[in-house]
A and B are shown apart, each in its own frame.
Chain A
Amino acid sequence: MEIEKFSYDNKIVKAFMIATVIFGLVGMLVGLTAAIQLFYPVFNFSDSPVGQFVSFGRIRPLHTNAIIFAFVGNAMFAGVYYSMQRLLKARMLSDTLSWIHFWGWQLIILAAAITLPLGITTSKEYAELEWPIDIAIALVWVVFGINMIGTIIKRRERHMYVAIWFYIATFVTVAVLHIVNSFEMPVSLFKSYSWYAGVQDALVQWWYGHNAVAFFLTTPFLGIMYYFLPKAANRPVYSYRLSIIHFWALIFIYIWAGPHHLLYSTLPDWAQSLGVVFSIMLIAPSWGGMLNGLMTLRGAWDRVREDAVLKFMVVAITAYGMATLEGPLLSLKNVNAIAHFTDWIVAHVHVGGLGWNGFLIFAVLYWTVPRMWNTKLYSSKLANIHFWLGTLGIIFYALPMYVSGVTQSLMWKEFNPEGFLVYKNFLETTVQILPLHGLRAMGGLLYFTGTVIMTYNLMKTAYAGSFIANEPAEAAPLAKNYVVKTGGWHYRLLEHKPLLFTVLALVAILIGGIIELVPTFLIKSNVPTIASVKPYTPLELQGRDIYIREGCVSCHSQLIRPFRSETERYGEYSKSGEFVYDHPFLWGSKRTGPDLHRIGGKYSNTWHYNHMLAPDAVSTGSIMPAYPWLFEQSIDKGSTGAKISALRTVGVPYPEGYEENANADLEKQAETIAASLKNDGIEVSSDTEIIAIIAYLQRLGTDIKAEKVAVNK
C-alpha cells in the first residue's frame, strides 16, 4: 500500500486554544465578581446606570455559560481537533467546516455575552440562551458533527481508539439533549416560553442539566484524558479493557441519573428512585475510569514530582474521582435532604469544574503549546507556581463552601425544645455564612491568579518558538478489502464501523432517556390537577417575566419540600398541580435567599415595594441587590397579547380572543395595586414594572389557599 503524505491542521487547534484561555480568564473574573457580590452587595452597583446589567441574577448565568460553553467548550474542541487528527491519521474532513465551527461558536458566545446581561434568558440553568441562539447552537453543533464523522470515515487508522468513542458519544448525546430541552414557543425574537410546564419542564430540564455535565464536561474530557495522559506519562493506558467497560457502562448509566436533582420535589417517586439507583451505579464506571487514569502513572510517579503537566493531570483525575463519588452520595435522599439548595452543591460542582475540567485543560495546554510551537515551555517554575496556586485555590474554594452548606442547612432545620424554628428569620442563616463566602472568593482569586500566570507563560512560550501551522504526517490509506487476520471479526466489529458505533451509542443513551421522560408525559395522573389553580393574570404574567429577566431564580427556589422544617418556615409543601401553567418552571436549585413559593399574601404590597427599592433598609444585613430600575421602567404592554397567544398554544387555557382585552385586565389590576400603595403614602404610576412584580409575588402559592384542594386521585 502506498504511503500518503498529508498534514495535521494545528491552526484550528491554536484558534480554539486562544479562545479557551481568553474565555477562561473572562469566565473566572465574572465568577469572582459574582462571589464578591454575595458578601459585598455594593458590587451589584444597583444604583449606577449599569446596575441592571451587572446585578447578581444576570451575572451568575453569564459566569456559568462562559465557563461551561466558552472556556470548557473551546478547550474540548481544541483537544478533540488535536487528538482526533492524530489518532485517525487524517486531517479534519474540511478546513472550511473547521473554521465555520470555530467562528460560529465564538459568535454564539458573543450573543450570550450580550443577551444574558440584558436579561434575555429562558431561566433554565445552562440552557438560558433564547431560541434564535438555540438554533444557532444546533447548527454549529451539526457542523462539528459532520466534520468529526467525516474525518472518521476518511481515516487512515482502521481502529478507533477509545478517545474517539467518547467524542462520538459526546456529539450524539449533546445534540439529543439540546434539541429536546430547547422546545419552546417564541413570543418575539428575544422571548419564548418553554414547551413544557411545571414538573414536566423540571424533569426535562434536569435530564438535560445532569447530562450536560455528563456529556459536555465529562465524556469529551475522558476522551482527552485517554489520549493526553498516556502521551504525557509516555506509557500506554493501564488497562484498555477497563476503558471499554468505562465507556459503555458510563454512557448507558449516566443518562438515567437526572432526577436526582429533583429529590423531594413533586416529581413522581418512582422517577426520583430511578435517579438515585442509577446515580449509585455510576460510582463503578467513574471510579473504574479514575483508577485507570491513576494506574497509567504506575512507575512514572517520580516524574509527577517534576513535571507540571503530570501534576495537573493527577489532581484533575483525583478531582474527577472525588466529584463522581460525592455526586452519587449527594443523590441519596438522606444526604440530599441536607445538601440540596445549599453551598454544598456549589462546592461539589467546583471540585468538578476547577479540579477536573480546569486542571485537565491546563495540563493539555502546557503539553501541546510547546509542541505546536516547536519549542520548550518558557518556565516550568511558573507552571509549578500555577499548579500550587490552583490547588490552593480549589481548597480555599471548596472547604468554606462545604462548611457553609452544612452550617446553613442545619440552621434551617434547627428546632428548639418548644418545637419552633430556632432561626425563624432566614436572614440569620445567610449572615452566618458570609465570612465563608469571603474565603471562597479568596480561593477563586488564587485560582484566577494562577490562570493569569499560565497565560503569561504560554504567551512567552509561543513567542520563543515558531508555530507549526501544518504538521506533516504520513500513513497508508485503509485497504478496500480488509480481512481480519487474527482474533476474529466480532471482536473488532465496533472499532471498524463508526456509523454502527454511533447508532449503538445513540441507542444506549436513548433507552434511559425514553423510559425516564415518556411516562411523565403520557400518564396524566402523574401530574394530579388542582381545580383552584388558574392561569396567571396578564399583570402577573408580565411580573413573572420580569422575575425571569432579573434571574431571581438564581437565589430563590419556588419549591417547598415536604419537611417539617420547611412547612414551618414557608407553609404548605408544593404540589405538582400548582405548577401546571408554569412555562418554564421556576423551582430553582439554590437558596441564597428564602423560598418564595408561598410568598403570596405574606407581606403587604408596601413591604415589597420598599424591599425591592432598598432590601437592606427593610431587612437589615440583607445581601439582596436593590432593583431601582423596576421603579422607572414601564411594563411592556405591547407584548401582552403575543404572550397570551403563545401560552395558549402550549396549553394554558386562556379563552380565545383574550389577547385583545388582556391589557385592560392588566391595567385594572395594576390600578388596584397602585391604589393600595397610595393608601400607605406611596405615589407610583401603575405602569411601572414594580407593580407587575408585586402582582406576581402576591399571587405565588395562593391558589390552593383559595379553596379546599381537589386532587384528582
Chain B
Amino acid sequence: MYKNVLQSMTDVAIWPVISFIIFFAFFITLLVYVFLVDKKFIQYMKSLPMDDETPKSSTETVNHHV
C-alpha cells in the first residue's frame, strides 16, 4: 500500500515542507521580481507591440494582386 511506502521513508515529514518551500519560493520570487523591476523597462516592454508598424509610405512595397 501507498501508506506503507510513506511509512518506510525516513524523515517523510520533510517532503511536504519541501513542497511548500518550492511553491512559496516560486511565487515570492515571482512577486519580488515583478515589483522590483525597473519602471522604464516595463514601459519599454509594454510598448513593443505598439511600435512595430512599417511606414505605409514606403515605395518598396511589393504588391501582388490575388
Contact = CB atoms under 8 A, between A and B. Distances in A.
Given A159-B45, A249-B30, A486-B40, A713 B62 contact: no
Contact of B48 (A157, A462, A468, A525): A157
Contact of B62 (A87, A469, A495): A469
Interface string A70-91: 0000000000000100110100
A462 B64 CA distance: 11
Contact of B36 (A240, A467, A491): A491
A252 interface: yes
A373 B49 CA distance: 20
A419 interface: no
Nearest to A241: B34
- Which residue, B27, B37, B52, B63, has most C-beta atoms of chain A within 10 A? B52
Contact of A241 (B1, B35, B47, B60): B35
A231 interface: yes
A270 interface: yes
Interface stretch (A338-346, A397-405, A470-478): A470-478
Nearest to B47: A236
A487 interface: yes
A491 B42 CA distance: 10
Nearest to B3: A525
Interface string A483-499: 00011100110010000
B45 A240 contact: yes
A163 B49 contact: yes
Given A159-B44, A525-B1, A236 B49 contact: yes
Contact of B31 (A240, A245, A472): A245
Contacts of B42: 240-241
A234 B45 CA distance: 15
A468 B49 contact: no
Contact of A471 (B41, B49, B50, B61): B61
Nearest to A465: B66
A301 to B, nearest CB: 19
Contacts of A471: 54, 61
Given A249-B30, A525-B2, A89 B62 contact: no
A526 B66 contact: no
Given A162-B45, A472-B58, A230 B37 contact: no
Contact of B63 (A467, A473, A491): A467
Contacts of A240: 42, 45-46
A81 to B, nearest CB: 14
Contacts of B38: 486-488, 491
A248 B61 contact: no
Interface in A234-253: 234-237, 240-241, 244-245, 248-249, 252
A268 interface: yes
Contacts of B44: 159
A239 B27 CA distance: 18
A689 B13 CA distance: 56
A161 B50 CA distance: 11
A463 interface: yes
Given A231-B49, A525-B1, A244 B34 contact: yes
Interface in A1-37: 5, 7-8
Contacts of A48: none
Contacts of B62: 7, 468-470, 472
B17 interface: no
B5 interface: yes
A374 interface: yes
Contacts of B37: 241, 244, 487, 491
Q: How large is the interface on B (under 10, 10 to 19, 20 to 34, 35 or more residues)?
A: 35 or more
A471 B52 CA distance: 12
A227 interface: yes
Given A487-B40, A488-B38, A161 B45 contact: yes
Given A241-B37, A525-B5, A87 B45 contact: no
A533 B52 CA distance: 64
Nearest to B35: A241
Interface string A343-377: 00000000000000000000000000000011000
Given A249-B27, A486-B41, A467 B66 contact: yes
B25 to A, nearest CB: 12
Nearest to A85: B52
A463 B34 contact: no
A162 B41 CA distance: 13
A466 interface: yes
A523 interface: yes
B52 A87 contact: yes
A245 B2 contact: no
A86 B52 contact: yes
B8 to A, nearest CB: 11
A230 B52 CA distance: 12
A244 B27 CA distance: 12
Given A231-B49, A244-B34, A487 B5 contact: no
Contact of B2 (A7, A230, A523): A523
Interface string A218-229: 000000001100
A526 B52 CA distance: 54
A468 B66 contact: no
Nearest to B60: A472
Contacts of B60: 5, 472
Contacts of A235: 50
A245 to B, nearest CB: 6
Given A241-B34, A270-B2, A526-B2, A473 B54 contact: yes
A231 B31 CA distance: 27
A491 B29 CA distance: 12
18 contacts: A7-B62, A87-B52, A231-B50, A235-B50, A236-B46, A237-B46, A240-B46, A241-B42, A466-B63, A467-B66, A468-B61, A469-B64, A471-B54, A471-B61, A486-B40, A487-B40, A488-B38, A525-B1
Given A241-B37, A374-B61, A374-B63, 14 more contacts: A87-B49, A157-B48, A162-B45, A236-B49, A237-B46, A463-B66, A466-B63, A466-B65, A469-B64, A470-B62, A472-B54, A473-B52, A525-B5, A713-B1
Interface of B: 1-2, 4-5, 22, 26-27, 30-31, 33-38, 40-42, 44-50, 52, 54, 56, 58, 60-66
Question: 10 closest A-B pairs (Cβ-Cβ)?
Answer: A487-B38, A236-B46, A86-B52, A161-B48, A466-B63, A472-B60, A241-B34, A240-B46, A491-B37, A467-B66
